Amino acid sequence: MAEPPGNPLQRPLADGIVPEEVVARTENRWVMIMAAMLVVMMAVIVITGVAGALHPSSNVEVIDPLTLHLGGEFAESNLGTAIEPDGSATVRLIGEQYDFVPHCVRVPANTPVKFRLTSADVVHGFLLPDTNVNTMVVPGFVAEVRTRFAEPGEYEMPCHEFCGLGHHAMWTRVSVVPQDQFAAQGPLERTRCAKQ
């Protein structure tokens, strides 16, 4: 029987042990793969950040929350539902602790509806369950969302951003009515949801 070399580092490897060169080569490959993945992820972050800054993802329109009720689009006489020249409906609402003004709005069924909202005090949430309408209402900015209601019905709308101690009671309603019934209503009737 041959005697193993005196230096333990020069002994032959036992079965199942991978040589050091193979381990080093494999680790280097994995380091290169991880570095490439990191470069791709950083590129995605930079590109989306630049694209988002150039093209904001939402309607960016500013308004003075202290004077919004005194005139212009969000004066009390302009709140509620209005029909635009193209036949679409525009609903203007103001969120304030702890209600939306007007408290209830009527919109026509099967008509494009644009909601324009702002806040007079703190951040509120605007959510219409079972629709694509969900946005934050931030003081100093006008939020805009669009949808279409296929069928008449009632939509309870909670504020889904914590806005203070009365937040749990901040609900309002959107009443979707047939187009012919909506056309027969005056502006004041479009901001009340009592049965007629």
Query: Rounded to whole angstroms, what are the CA distances from 99 to 28, 41, 95?
Result: 61, 43, 6
Percent of the chain's residues with pLDDT above 90: 36
pLDDT, tens only, 76-96: 888 989 999 999 999 999 999
Please list the residues that pair with 106 across neighbouring strands: 175
Beta strand pairing status for 153-158 and 171-177? antiparallel
- What is the mean predicted confidence (pLDDT) over 133-159? 90
State the architecture of 72-191 in CATH terms. Answer: Sandwich (2.60)
Which tokens in the block code for residue 92? 């203007």
Residue 79 vs residues 36, 102, 104, 191, 192: alpha-carbon distances, Å: 54, 7, 11, 8, 12
Q: Determine the pLDDT at residue 92.
A: 93
Per-residue pLDDT at 161: 87
Average pLDDT over residues 165-185: 88
Would you list the domain boundaries of the chain?
A: 18-54, 72-191
Mean pLDDT of the chain: 85
